[in-house]
Every structure is written in structure tokens, then in C-alpha cells.
Amino acid sequence: MPKQVDHQERREAIARALWRVVERRGATHLTMREVAQEAGMSLGQLQHYFTSRTAMLTFAMDFAGEQSALRVGRALAELGERPHPRAVLRAMLVELLPLHPDARATSRMSAAYVLEALHDEEVHARARAGLVQGRAMVEQVVRQAVADGLIAADRDPVVETDLLLALTGFTTLLELDVVRPAAVLAAVDRHLERLFAA
């Protein structure tokens, strides 16, 4: 009896192969042929799943987002039943920074996807929607913390959300070895301490 192919599993394997190619060589010269070779399949087999480089990149980015969400979910579960919002925000921010291999892969995929989004309206709209959704989640935590008196009432939740997300700018500094992970975590913790000094 022929072996059943799990198509979702095959797509995820292709996405992970794409991550590895981006990790090694960057996204500028990323080709479907190179990803097929990395995934151990022919170009024709890969094209059965993805008809274009953009479709493949979009799926890889969506998959990266799902994996990030799972890691954030696990980190939040470890905080217990009613975690302090400062700990929630820290977990969310830390996961967005390239501080471990999976987060680094996601970070590099995001960079590749943003470059693609600058020249493709459909990719732009999709990338923007994901970022808007993520930003809304952070703002919701900030607004609730203000409502609960954990953040001073005179703090503007929109501005504070933007300042928190600005901390993800450490990504470039980390990737280029300008700052060390310990320094980044210290800066994140210091910012959160100041924010929650209601």
C-alpha cells in the first residue's frame, strides 16, 4: 500500500528548509530551487505545494508566526494562572527578539518578509495585518494594566505600546553583535520597571 503523504507536514518541512536557507545565505538570492534542494525534493515536487516564491515565503512567514505564538503561549502558561502584566509583556517582548535559535529563525524570516512586502502589495497587506494584530494584543495588556492601577493613569496606552514595541529594535543590534543578550534583557526589564512604577 502506498505511503500517505501528510501535505501539511510536507509544507512545514519546506518552510523549515526555507528558514535554514535564509539563516545561511539571507533572503536576497532565495530561490525555489535552493529551497527544494534543502528540503530534499525536486523543484517539481516543491511547485506542487507552492506555485511561486512569494507563496512559499508567505506560508513560511505564517508558519513562523504560528511557532512564535506557540512559544509565547508556553511562556505565559509557565507564569501561572494570573500572571502580572509586567511578566506577560516581558514574555511577549523577549519572544520577539532573536535570543534563541527558533526566535532567530523567525526574526530573519520577518526581515526577509518585510523586504518582500515593500515591493508586493498583497504581501504588504498580509504582513501589516499580522503586525496590527500583534500590536493590538500588546496594547490590550497595557490598557488593562492602566485600568487596574498597575500603570499610572496619566500614561497614554498608545504611546506606551509604541515604546514597548520599539524595544524590538534591539533585533538589529543583536544580529550584528553590537549588544549582548544580557544587556538587552536588562534594558527590557528596566523599561518595564519604570512603566509599572505607578
Strand, helix or coil for residue 21 = helix
At residue 4 the predicted structure's pLDDT band, cuts being 50, 70 and 90, is low
| Whole-number pLDDT of residue 117 | 86
pLDDT in tens, 65-92: 888 888 888 988 999 889 999 999 999 9
At residue 5 the predicted structure's pLDDT band, cuts being 50, 70 and 90, is low
Distant-in-sequence, close-in-space partners of 47: CB < 8 Å, separation ≥ 6: 32
Contacts 24+ apart (CB under 8 A), 35-42: 39/13, 39/14, 41/14
pLDDT in tens, 142-161: 999 999 999 999 999 999 99
- What are the boundaries of each domain within the chain? 54-195
pLDDT over 70, % of the chain: 96
User: Is the alpha carbon torsion for 151, 153, 155, 161 positive or negative?
Assistant: positive
What is the distance between the alpha carbons of residues 113 and 58, in angstroms, rounded to a whole number? 8
Please give the CATH architecture assigned to the domain spanning 54-195: Orthogonal Bundle (1.10)
pTM, two decimals, is 0.82
Distant-in-sequence, close-in-space partners of 35: CB < 8 Å, separation ≥ 6: 14, 17, 18, 21, 46, 56
